[in-house]
């Protein structure tokens, strides 16, 4: 179909994108790998030679490692459960006919467009502050002792902030999937007398399963990398130091580049495991 | 879809949907309202909702004290520049893959997507080092390039899916009618491609505007965009809720408006065509 001429033209057109992305992927990655096998402390002696797999071993045996794995799992897991559960409910609700659909949809999607530093600081100060926050006002109104959210329930607080940011994403994608549901099938089930819960379980949920998987995978990749929300709220204290934040601290704050790079390699491997599943779904869709 | 819905049910749904919508939107609304209060009113207990003396003082204070316009300008340059640069590189690539597919096309697309999955923190130090060596630390050009690279896979993907929808038969028809390559590009393809390119631009400006890893780690004073400007409020002095709100409102308002136009593109751009 396409001629030899158009093929070489196509290759030429693709070259810039392929080359810059290849460089973007390979150069820093190679450097991270390189540093991860070195004892490299820029502020304390610089390059102190090769250390084999020492950094890899030290990263996972340091006292900060398991707590950071725990924090990462709780935050990622918590946000996933909340956003997918409420995302499905919201998608089903917004799919019903009601007055002002357009406006409500805009209201629901809005948090996704708020930059992470703004949403984290607004929640931290104006809602969760133990003295002047709205929650404190509300607690006092009911005669309860105000909670110092970010120090007393730090993981929950971060999960709440991040869920608020990502619920719109989950809702929007699940809503898109809901709208492609065959309404005749639902009507038939309704006429056969299937109760709402059964219809949800046997027709709606299976239809949404792929969209849910996609939301799960995409969000996992982005959630593993959350940074700003922790940077401007707790700075990793009170047990909110995630794997990403731990690596950031090792590399930039304590300038232990070798150790941080080994952590970086772990993070890359972890993200790739999730990515493989996502790519499989995306790749399947490319054929059709 | 001729499902008869009773008015009662529609009313109930309306109430529920609006309640949920307003609840989710409330933090943004509250920030907006607080930005027009005095600092004292901002922390009043019980909180005041609408009936207070509206003042725009906070906005001028934020501008005077921290030179808000400079951060805004940095955000505009970095978000706009990285998107523009990305489009220039991505349009030919997406074009080639959509119209002259080879057996490698699918693999290249998936590989490009995989670069998006690379956790930024994993390459933080190398990037930091490269930036120092090249004198790019805390410069707008450096950040523009990094954000372009971060978003390039999404740009290519979105453009690819849009270009794929342009039917190839139209090209053949134009050729039969004697259109040369120039006419073909100018009068047939470009008009059909523009909506897709516009949507891609929109979503990527939003993503670049809100990016908060590289913008926080690779800037200090001179190239810092709004994300970093807002982060400076994390160590406050004295009463600052109203000013934080004013600064936040100014930082999110332009993108919120753009965002509302790009709901549909969001699904396409962020799921890589995996959900339709």
* Residues A261-285 pLDDT 10s: 999 999 999 888 888 888 888 888 7
Residues B53 and B70 placed together within one structural domain of the fold: no
Residues A104 and A65: their CA atoms lie apart, in Å, by 43
Could you list the residue range(s) of the whole structural domain that residue A128 is in?
A: 4-287
Q: A98 CB near a chain B CB, below 8 Å?
A: yes
Is pLDDT larger for residue B186 or for residue B255? Answer: B255
pLDDT band at A8 (very low <50, low <70, confident <90, very high): confident
Contact residues on chain A for B117, CB-CB shorter than 8 A: 221, 271-272, 274-275, 278
pLDDT greater than 70 at residue B3: no
ipTM of the complex: 0.88
Cβ within 8 Å, pair A248-B97: no
**Contact yes or no for A189/A103 (Cβ under 8 A):** no
Residues B224 and B111 placed together within one structural domain of the fold: yes
- In the prediction, which pLDDT does B276 show? 65
Residues A56 and B170: their CA atoms lie apart, in Å, by 57
Residues B50 and B81 placed together within one structural domain of the fold: no
Q: Is residue B276 part of a domain?
A: no
**Contact yes or no for A32/A261 (Cβ under 8 A):** yes
Residues B214 and B88 placed together within one structural domain of the fold: yes
Residues B195 and B97 placed together within one structural domain of the fold: yes
- Residue where one domain finishes, among candidates B29, B44, B59: B59
CATH number of the structural domain spanning residue A26: 1.10.3720.10
**Residue ranges of A 22-41 with Cβ closer than 8 A to chain B:** 24-25, 27-29, 31-32, 35
Cβ within 8 Å, pair B231-A248: no
pLDDT greater than 80 at residue B186: no
| pLDDT (average), residues B205-229 | 90
What is the pTM (predicted TM-score) of this model? 0.89
Range with the largest mean pLDDT of A113-122, A216-225, B161-170, B196-205: A113-122
Q: In degrees to the nearest 10, what's the CA dihedral of A13, A16, A22, A25?
A: -130
Domain total of chain B: 2
Q: Parallel, antiparallel, or unpaired: how do β-strands A38-41 and A46-50 relate?
A: antiparallel
Q: B124 CB near a chain A CB, below 8 Å?
A: yes
Among A252, A261, A275, select the one facing B114 at the smallest CB separation.
A275
How many cross-chain Cβ pairs, A to B, lie less than 8 Å apart?
311
* A46 bridge partner residues: A41
Cβ within 8 Å, pair A264-B90: no
The residue count for chain A: 288
> Distance of CA A159 to CAs A74, A82, A120, A156, A226, Å?
8, 9, 11, 5, 11
Cβ within 8 Å, pair A267-B119: yes
> At A42, is the secondary structure helix, strand, or coil?
coil
Cβ within 8 Å, pair B113-A282: yes
- In the prediction, which pLDDT does B238 show? 61
Residues B111 and B221 placed together within one structural domain of the fold: yes
**Residue ranges of B 248-267 with Cβ closer than 8 A to chain A:** 248, 251-252, 255-256, 258-260, 263, 266-267
Contact residues on chain B for A31, CB-CB shorter than 8 A: 123, 125-126, 129-130
Cβ within 8 Å, pair B1-A16: no
- In the prediction, which pLDDT does B1 show? 44
What is the sign of the dihedral through the CA atoms of A87, A154, A115 and B274? negative
pLDDT greater than 70 at residue B4: no
Helices and strands in chain B: count of H runs, count of E runs: 14, 0
Cβ within 8 Å, pair A7-B102: yes
Q: Which residue has the tokens 């005669």?
A: A143
Q: B178 CB near a chain A CB, below 8 Å?
A: no
> What b/e string do you get for B208-236 counting C-beta neighbours within 10 Å, with b at 16 or more?
bbbbbbbbbbbbeeebbbbbbbbbebbee
Residues B47 and B183 placed together within one structural domain of the fold: no
Instruction: Compute the 3-state secondary structure of chain B and give helix, strand, coil in percent, each to the nearest 5.
Output: 75, 0, 25
**Contact yes or no for B24/A111 (Cβ under 8 A):** yes
Q: Which of A115, A133, A224, A260 to mutate to test the interface with B (most CBs of B within 10 A)?
A: A115
Residues B247 and B179 placed together within one structural domain of the fold: yes
Among A218, A264, A287, select the one facing B122 at the smallest CB separation.
A264
Q: B62 CB near a chain A CB, below 8 Å?
A: no
- In the prediction, which pLDDT does B266 show? 75
Among A180, A244, A278, select the one facing B121 at the smallest CB separation.
A244
- Residue where one domain finishes, among candidates B34, B59, B84: B59
Q: Which of B71-85, B213-227, B256-270 has the lowest mean pLDDT?
A: B256-270
**Contact yes or no for A122/A232 (Cβ under 8 A):** no
Residues B165 and B146 placed together within one structural domain of the fold: yes
Domain total of chain A: 1
In chain A, % of residues over pLDDT 90: 49
Largest CA distance in chain B: 76
Distance in Å, alpha carbon of A282 to nearest chain B alpha carbon:
5
- In the prediction, which pLDDT does A1 show? 47
- In the prediction, which pLDDT does B237 show? 64
Residues B76 and B112 placed together within one structural domain of the fold: yes
Among B1, B9, B106, select the one facing A286 at the smallest CB separation.
B106
Among B46, B213, B244, select the one facing A121 at the smallest CB separation.
B244
Q: Is residue B179 part of a domain?
A: yes
CATH number of the structural domain spanning residue B244: 1.10.3720.10
Cβ within 8 Å, pair B114-A283: no
pLDDT greater than 50 at residue A229: yes
Residues B138 and B263 placed together within one structural domain of the fold: yes
Q: What is the pLDDT of residues A66-124, one digit of tens each?
A: 999 999 999 999 999 999 999 999 999 999 889 988 889 889 999 999 999 999 999 99
Q: Which of A35-39, A108-112, B268-272 has the lowest mean pLDDT?
A: B268-272
- In the prediction, which pLDDT does A210 show? 84
Mean pLDDT of chain B: 86
Cβ within 8 Å, pair B152-A248: no
pLDDT greater than 50 at residue A150: yes
Residues B240 and B130 placed together within one structural domain of the fold: yes
Could you list the residue range(s) of the whole structural domain that residue B86 is in?
A: 66-271
- Residue where one domain finishes, among candidates B42, B59, B76: B59
> At B194, is the secondary structure helix, strand, or coil?
helix
Task: Report the candidate in A245, A42, A51, A96 with the shortest Cα–Cα distance to residue B119.
Answer: A245
- In the prediction, which pLDDT does B172 show? 77
pLDDT greater than 80 at residue A5: no
| pLDDT (average), residues B70-96 | 94
Q: What is the pLDDT of residues A159-208, one digit of tens each?
A: 999 999 999 999 999 998 888 887 788 788 888 888 888 888 888 888 88
């Amino acid at each position: 179909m396409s001629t030899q001429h158009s093929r070489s033209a196509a290759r030429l057109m693709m070259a810039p994108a392929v080359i810059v992305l290849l460089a973007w992927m390979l150069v820093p990655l190679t450097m991270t790998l390189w540093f991860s096998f070195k004892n490299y402390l820029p502020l304390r002696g610089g390059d102190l030679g090769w250390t084999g797999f020492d950094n890899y071993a030290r990263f996972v045996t340091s006292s900060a490692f398991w707590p950071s794995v725990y924090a990462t799992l709780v935050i990622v897991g918590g946000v996933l459960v909340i956003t997918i559960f409420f995302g499905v409910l919201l998608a089903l609700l917004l799919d019903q006919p009601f007055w002002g659909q357009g406006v409500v949809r805009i209201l629901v999607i809005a948090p996704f467009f708020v930059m992470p530093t703004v949403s984290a600081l607004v929640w931290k100060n104006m809602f969760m502050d133990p003295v002047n926050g709205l929650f404190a006002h509300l607690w006092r109104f009911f005669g309860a002792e105000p909670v110092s959210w970010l120090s007393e329930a730090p993981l929950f607080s971060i999960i709440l902030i991040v869920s608020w940011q990502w619920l719109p994403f989950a809702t929007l994608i699940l809503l898109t999937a809901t709208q492609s549901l065959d309404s005749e099938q639902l009507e038939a089930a309704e006429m056969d007398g299937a109760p709402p819960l059964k219809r949800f379980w046997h027709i709606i949920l299976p239809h949404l399963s792929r969209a849910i998987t996609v939301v799960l995978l995409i969000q996992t990749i982005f959630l593993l990398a959350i940074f700003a929300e922790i940077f401007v709220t707790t700075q990793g204290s009170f047990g909110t130091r995630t794997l990403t934040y731990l690596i950031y601290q090792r590399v930039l704050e304590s300038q232990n580049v070798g150790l941080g790079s080994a952590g970086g390699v772990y993070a890359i491997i972890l993200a790739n495991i999730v990515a493989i599943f996502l790519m499989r779904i995306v790749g399947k869709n490319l054929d059709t | 879809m001729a499902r008869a819905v009773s008015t009662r049910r529609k009313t109930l749904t309306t109430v529920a949907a609006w309640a949920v919508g307003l609840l989710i939107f409330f933090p943004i609304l509250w920030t907006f309202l607080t930005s027009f209060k005095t600092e004292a009113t901002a922390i009043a207990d019980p909180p005041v909702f609408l009936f207070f003396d509206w003042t725009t003082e906070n906005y001028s204070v934020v501008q005077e004290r921290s030179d808000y316009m400079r951060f805004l300008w940095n955000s505009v340059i970095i978000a706009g520049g990285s998107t523009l640069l990305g489009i220039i590189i991505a349009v030919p690539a997406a074009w080639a893959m959509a119209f002259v597919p080879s057996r490698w096309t699918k693999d290249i697309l998936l590989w490009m997507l995989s670069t998006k999955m690379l956790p930024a923190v994993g390459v933080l130090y190398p990037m930091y080092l490269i930036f120092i060596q090249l004198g790019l630390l805390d410069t707008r050009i450096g950040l523009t390039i990094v954000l372009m690279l971060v978003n390039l896979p999404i740009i290519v993907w979105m453009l690819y899916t849009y270009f794929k929808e342009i039917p190839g038969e139209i090209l053949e028809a134009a050729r039969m009618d004697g259109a040369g390559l120039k006419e073909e590009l100018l009068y047939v393809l470009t008009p059909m491609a523009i909506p897709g390119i516009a949507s891609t631009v929109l979503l990527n400006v939003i993503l670049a505007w809100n990016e908060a890893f590289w913008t926080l780690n690779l800037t200090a004073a001179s190239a810092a965009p709004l994300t970093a400007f807002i982060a400076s409020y994390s160590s406050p002095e004295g009463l600052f809720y109203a000013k934080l709100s004013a600064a936040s409102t100014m930082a999110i308002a332009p993108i919120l408006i753009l965002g509302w136009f790009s709901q549909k593109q969001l699904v396409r751009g962020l799921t890589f065509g995996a959900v339709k």
